[in-house]
Chain A
Amino acid sequence: GAGVSQSPSNKVTEKGKDVELRCDPISGHTALYWYRQRLGQGLEFLIYFQGNSAPDKSGLPSDRFSAERTGESVSTLTIQRTQQEDSAVYLCASSPGTGIAAFFGQGTRLTVV
């Protein structure tokens, strides 16, 4: 596709369950970012992938959160044992590299009940 694609667009899960969120970046984009936006708040950085370099995981809020990226393609963000405070919109963005604007997907709205 032409843009960044995220799936699912909406996810409702029970507290304690694991969830997996998917991001398909724009083809050829080496940089990929995950952010979280809680209700009424700004964009919270989670993790950053650049090519084959080790990812910058400094924004992950706890060890329940992990992310993977296969080469320069799809990325998955996994949240284990979800908690209600994990409810947010999870946004993915990709960029051809650093110092170049990143383009966002529509986000995945996660609701933990």
Chain B
Amino acid sequence: DQQVKQNSPSLSVQEGRISILNCDYTNSMFDYFLWYKKYPAEGPTFLISISSIKDKNEDGRFTVFLNKSAKHLSLHIVPSQPGDSAVYFCAASGPGDMRFGAGTRLTVKP
């Protein structure tokens, strides 16, 4: 059962524009949400997180939005840079384990 879903396997944007990556979850027990970035042959790297008591968290070019009623979160990257090209994983955790989406491959074109 997929408790965390990333329905877009890939996204391509132009350098300087906004990248929006989306994620949906089904388990209402999740109370902490994270985004990870992964380059080939490396482990995922933590990017940004948000607690369920917030609806927005911003860190530089990265902003995560949480819509609890819709069980939806998104990651905005602006402006996008070629170095942002990677696979982005959404994750959700509750009292126990942490579950990941299937990932979205972001390509930022110069």
Contacts and interface: CB of A to CB of B under 8 A. Distances in A.
Interface of A: 4, 33, 35, 41-43, 45, 48, 50, 56, 58-59, 91, 93, 95, 98-107
A104 B49 contact: no
**Interface SS, A side:** loop
Given A91-B43, A104-B44, A98 B93 contact: yes
Given A42-B89, A43-B89, A101 B100 contact: no
A101 B32 CA distance: 9
Contacts of B36: 104
The size bracket of the interface on B is 20 to 34
Interface of B: 6, 31-32, 34, 36, 41-46, 49, 51, 89, 93-103
Q: Tell which of A41, A42, A95, A106 has the most Cβ of chain B within 10 Å.
A: A42
B38 to A, nearest CB: 9
